[in-house]
Amino acid sequence: MLNDFVNQFWPATIDGLAFGSIYALIALGYTMVYGVLRLINFAHSEVFMIGTFGAMFVPFALGVSEPLTGLALVGVILLMIVAGTLASAGTAVALEQIAYRPLRKRGASRLAALISAIGASIFLQELFALLVIPNVFNRPEKGRIQMGLPRLMEKSELFSIFGHSVRVDQVLVIVAAVGMMIALDALVNRTKIGRGIRATAQNPEAAVLMGVDINKIVRMTFLIGGGMAGVAGALYLISYENTYYYIGFLFGIKAFTAAVLGGIGNLRGALVGGVALGLVENYGAIFAGSDWKHVISFSILVLVLMFRPTGILGESLQQARA
């Protein structure tokens, strides 16, 4: 047992970091929306799913069938990230406009908003399974079957740690995720929009009195959170090369776990929580077998909520308001 652990420690660490980065990017969307609206955006998982398909569209439309190299590869990867981001951000904003704004205007209860989100989530999943995947991706009758990405790049070893190889795509995922985090942190802490977001999170009424356009801030929050999920979707697709209409469910719950683990409403907490969850999940899988990976994350979620509901870093996009 211990031997297994020693042998698989480094591969599990690298895999955990890569998965954790993706969780962290999705978790940002949950955390930001929660910070501003006190709402668990249940349909955020579908925003991620649409990001993977947005990214998938680029190699599909370009007809990529064999691994690329050099500039072509860089170009396609950048295009995929942009397409994923646009698809996700667009979905997130549309979601806010259609499923949440009417409720918000009326001052509806959070229960109503959560159920509206569940409805939107089911709708988007089915929309892709029934219409988008069969028609846009030309896979009639196969809307519910996993869709693979043709191999884009040779997944060669970049360097090795203690005799275990680290692949290019894994490094790409981790570096890109950290880069996005730094950019987002700067955006929230340094720009005018970021100040508006923080103000709204702290006290919406005072923010309005100070001249913050709250609808614009909410839209920006969904836009940014959705965009991050889109980047996560593109990175996931590049590295793991498959997706399907239901992929958002598991990733959504895990990313939410990551957000709670780090402290919901806290941007840096999302990063910490995501990476921690990715690592724990993969280390746990060494002992218990990969079948139990999901049970491990759900149990972590339950345990964190029971013993430290404010998470590792605490709720701090605003002051914690229980």
Partner 1 sequence: MKQKNSLEDFRHRLSRYGDGVHDRWLKTPGWQRWIVYALLIVGALLLPSESIGSFMSPYTDWASILFFPIGTYVVLAIGLNVVVGQAGLLDLGFVAFYAVGGYAMALIGTRLGWNFWLILLVGIGLCALSGITLGAPTLRLRGDYLAIVTLGFGEIIRITARNTDSIGGPNGIRAIPHPPSFPDVELFGIKIFKYGVLDPRPYYYLLVALAVIVIILVKRWEKSRVGRAWAAIREDEDAAEVMGVPTFRFKMLAFAIGASIGGAMGVLWAAKAISINPNDFQFLLSATILAAVVMGGAGNLPGVILGAFVVAWLPERFRGLQDYRMLIFGAVLVALMIFRPEGLLPSRQRKAELQEGSGGMGALGAEVPGPESHGEEVASK
Q: Which residues bind partner 1 (CB under 8 A)?
A: 36-40, 98-99, 102-116, 118-127, 130, 200, 204-205, 208, 214, 218, 249, 253, 256-257, 260, 291-292, 294-295, 298-299, 301-302, 305-306, 309, 322
Is 270 in a helix, a strand, or coil?
Answer: helix
CB 127 to partner 1: min, Å:
6
For residue 19, what are the contacts with CB-CB under 8 A and spacing of at least 6?
278, 281, 282
- Asked whether the beta carbons of 12 and 285 are under 8 A apart, the reply is yes
- Tally Cβ neighbours within 10 Å of residue 40: 18
CB 244 to partner 1: min, Å:
15
CB 307 to partner 1: min, Å:
9
CB 120 to partner 1: min, Å:
5
CB 100 to partner 1: min, Å:
8
Nearer to partner 1, 129 or 171 (CB): 129
Q: Which residue has the tokens 């609808």?
A: 215
- Asked whether the beta carbons of 32 and 221 are under 8 A apart, the reply is yes
DSSP category for residue 160: E
Burial of 105 from C-beta contacts in 10 A (0-12 / 13-18 / 19+): exposed
Nearer to partner 1, 174 or 260 (CB): 260
**Spatial distance between the Cα atoms of 150 and 238, rounded to a whole number of angstroms:** 10
